[in-house]
Amino acid sequence: MKLLVTFSRRKGYEPIIAKAVKETGVLIRVDRAHIDSSGGEVLIDVPEESCRLVSEKMGSLGATVKILEHPVVRDEDECVDCGACISICPREVFTFDGEWRLAMEVEKCVLCGKCIDACPHDALSQQVPG
């Protein structure tokens, strides 16, 4: 399961992820991280059963945690099943099924956004974490 962890600069100096791993014992995989002078945004992958535990721990350390259930969303009315997204994606989220219909494994998505730019039909978008 993908979690989007955001924190302010002050907390950025704290080893939030390391602390969460150490204190929960859950192995966290960092998919993407962007940290600058104003704060940080880190996309992590955790096993589904530990999602709540990790979220609560990180929350107690001062981070804001949002669960991304659909990191990339497809508008089925706009998609024509061309497959322009398939070779663009670094994580093989997109494939064709036996009927040349576009299939998605969104749990692999790391929110790089390349497919959204590459789609000729403007059919893909990123879920805005609410």
Only one of the segments 14-22, 24-32, 40-48, 99-107 lies at the binding site for other proteins (rule: CB under 8 A); that segment is 99-107
Strand, coil or helix: 58: helix
Q: Binding other proteins by CB under 8 A: which of 41, 45, 81, 107?
A: 81
Question: Using the 8-state DSSP alphabet, how is residue 49 labeled?
Answer: G
Only one of the segments 8-16, 54-62, 66-74, 117-125 lies at the binding site for other proteins (rule: CB under 8 A); that segment is 117-125
Of 33, 42, 27, 119, which Cα lies nearest the Cα of 73? 119
Distance (Å) of CA 67 to CA 56, 80, 92, 96, 100: 12, 29, 21, 27, 31
Q: Binding other proteins by CB under 8 A: which of 22, 32, 34, 101?
A: 101
Confirm or reject binding of residue 121 to other proteins (CB under 8 A). yes
Only one of the segments 4-12, 51-59, 61-69, 75-83 lies at the binding site for other proteins (rule: CB under 8 A); that segment is 75-83
Cα Rg for the chain, rounded, in angstroms? 16
Q: Binding other proteins by CB under 8 A: which of 13, 25, 48, 87?
A: 87
- Work out the number of other CB atoms within 10 angstroms of the CB of residue 100: 9
Return the number of the residue (102 or 111) whose C-beta is nearest other proteins: 102
- Contact (Cβ atoms closer than 8 angstroms) between residue 114 and residue 91: no
Confirm or reject binding of residue 109 to other proteins (CB under 8 A). no
Return the number of the residue (47 or 90) whose C-beta is nearest other proteins: 90
- Contact (Cβ atoms closer than 8 angstroms) between residue 79 and residue 42: no
Q: Binding other proteins by CB under 8 A: which of 1, 108, 118, 129?
A: 118
